[in-house]
Amino acid sequence: MNIGIIGSGEMGTCLAAKFVKLGHTVSIANSRGAASLKQVAEETGAKAASIEEVTKNKEVIIVAIPQKNIQYLPKNLFKQLDAGVVVIETGNYYPTLRDGKIPALVQSGIDSLWVQEQLGVPVVKVFNSILATSIKELGRPKGEKNRIALTVSGDDIEAKGLVFKLVYELGFDSFDIGPISQSWKQQPGSSIYCRDLTLNELKKRADAMGTDWSEMRKIILAKRKTDEALMKADYPAYLKGLKD
C-alpha cells in the first residue's frame, strides 16, 4: 500500500518505520521540508517528501501533527485527492499543555469533528489513544493473550475497514467507536485513552460512557485538564496512572 504521513514527531516516525517493515511504501513530510528529514528517512526507510508530494498518489494519508498546526496546513491540500483515499487523523487537543485555546474546539469539545472541518475531507480517527512506545512494543499475533485493541471512529465504513486491516497488521485488535461524532470517547480524559486495554475491556469501558456527549463532556474535559497539569509537573507519574 502507498502511504503518506504528515508529521515526523514520535507517532509519525513510529508509524513510518512500522509500515515500511510491513512492506508498505511510505513517504513522510513535515513543515520544515524534505531536507530536514534525512535522518528520519534513514532510520525508518520512508521517503522524505514535501507536504504536497506526500498527499499525491496515495491510498492512505496519515496526519500526525499537533492539533494547533492543523489550521496551518495548505488550504487546498486535500481538495484534489483521488476517490477512495483514506485520511487518518491521530491528533489530540491539549489546550493548556501544547495547543493553546482554539475557540471552535472549546465550543464543540470534539477534536476530530473540528479537524475534519479544517481538512475538508472525512477522517478516520485512530492511533491517538495509544502511545507510540506501545505501538513499537505491544503488537501481538491474533489470539495471543493480552493482545490490546485500538479505538477507531469515522463516518465512512469502507475507510474504517481499511484502517482495521492496518491495525491488524500492526498486531492489534480494532474497536469501532462509531461515527466521528462519537470520537470523544477516545480523547484525552476518557477512561480508554492510552490505557493499553484488551478488546473486551475496551468495549466495556466504551459502553459505560454511553453515547451522549452532553452528559460526559464535563467529566472528560475536567479529567483532561487534570491530566495535563500532571503531565507538566510529573510526566512519569502521569504514565504510571495510565496503568489504572
pLDDT of residue 174: 97
Q: Which helix (H) or strand (E) holds 86?
A: strand 86-89
Q: Which of 90, 3, 86 is nearest to 45 (CA)?
A: 3
pLDDT in tens, the chain (244 residues): 999 999 999 999 999 999 999 999 999 999 888 889 999 999 999 999 999 999 999 999 999 999 999 999 998 899 888 889 999 999 999 999 899 999 998 889 999 999 999 999 999 999 999 999 999 999 999 989 889 999 999 999 999 999 999 999 999 999 999 999 999 999 999 999 999 999 999 999 999 999 999 999 999 999 999 999 999 999 899 888 887 6
Measured CA to CA, the distance from residue 141 to residue 194 in angstroms comes to 20
Measured CA to CA, the distance from residue 1 to residue 7 in angstroms comes to 19
Angle in degrees, CA 190, 194, 200, rounded to 5? 80
pLDDT of residue 244: 65
Q: Which helix (H) or strand (E) holds 12?
A: helix 10-21
Residue count (the chain): 244
Q: 184 and 215 in contact (C-beta within 8 Å)?
A: no
Measured CA to CA, the distance from residue 22 to residue 8 in angstroms comes to 19
Q: 14 and 136 in contact (C-beta within 8 Å)?
A: yes
Number of H helices, E strands in the chain: 9, 8
For residue 203, what is its C-alpha cell?
Answer: 468495549
Domains delineated in the chain: 66-241 (3.40.50)
Residue type present at position 34 = A
pLDDT of residue 33: 87
Q: Which of 27, 238, 77, 58 is nearest to 162 (CA)?
A: 58
pLDDT of residue 79: 85
For residue 192, what is its C-alpha cell?
Answer: 480508554
Q: Which of 2, 214, 5 is nearest to 91 (CA)?
A: 5
